[in-house]
Amino acid sequence: METKIDKTIPYSDMSFATEPTRWTKFWRRSILLQLIRFFALNLKIMRIVVGGHS
């Protein structure tokens, strides 16, 4: 009985993360989405700051 074990070769293409898809790249570069996330993060920070000062 033979058992075959697939091992990854260090520093080969298989040992690194997969390449993002076209849609993933699009959403990462989307200025509109980045603006929305920027303001959402700022609002969260402001809630923490204002809550700490009252």
Q: Is residue 41 part of a domain?
A: yes
Number of domain units in the chain: 1
| Cβ–Cβ under 8 Å, residues 14 and 8 | yes
For residue 42, being part of any structural domain is answered with yes
Which pLDDT does position 22 carry in this prediction? 95
Taking only the tens place, the pLDDT of each residue in 30-50 is 999 999 999 999 999 999 999
Residue 5 lies in a domain: no
- Does residue 33 lie within any of the structural domains? yes
| pTM confidence score | 0.55
Q: How far is residue 7's CA from residue 17's CA, in Å, rounded to a whole number?
A: 16
The C-alpha atoms of residue 45 and residue 48 are separated, in whole angstroms, by 5
**Is 43 contained in some domain?**
yes
Nearest to 6 by CA among 26, 15, 34, 46: 15
Q: Which residues contact 9 (CB under 8 A, 6 or more apart)?
A: 15
Q: Provide the domain limits for residue 48.
A: 24-54
DSSP classification of residue 33: H
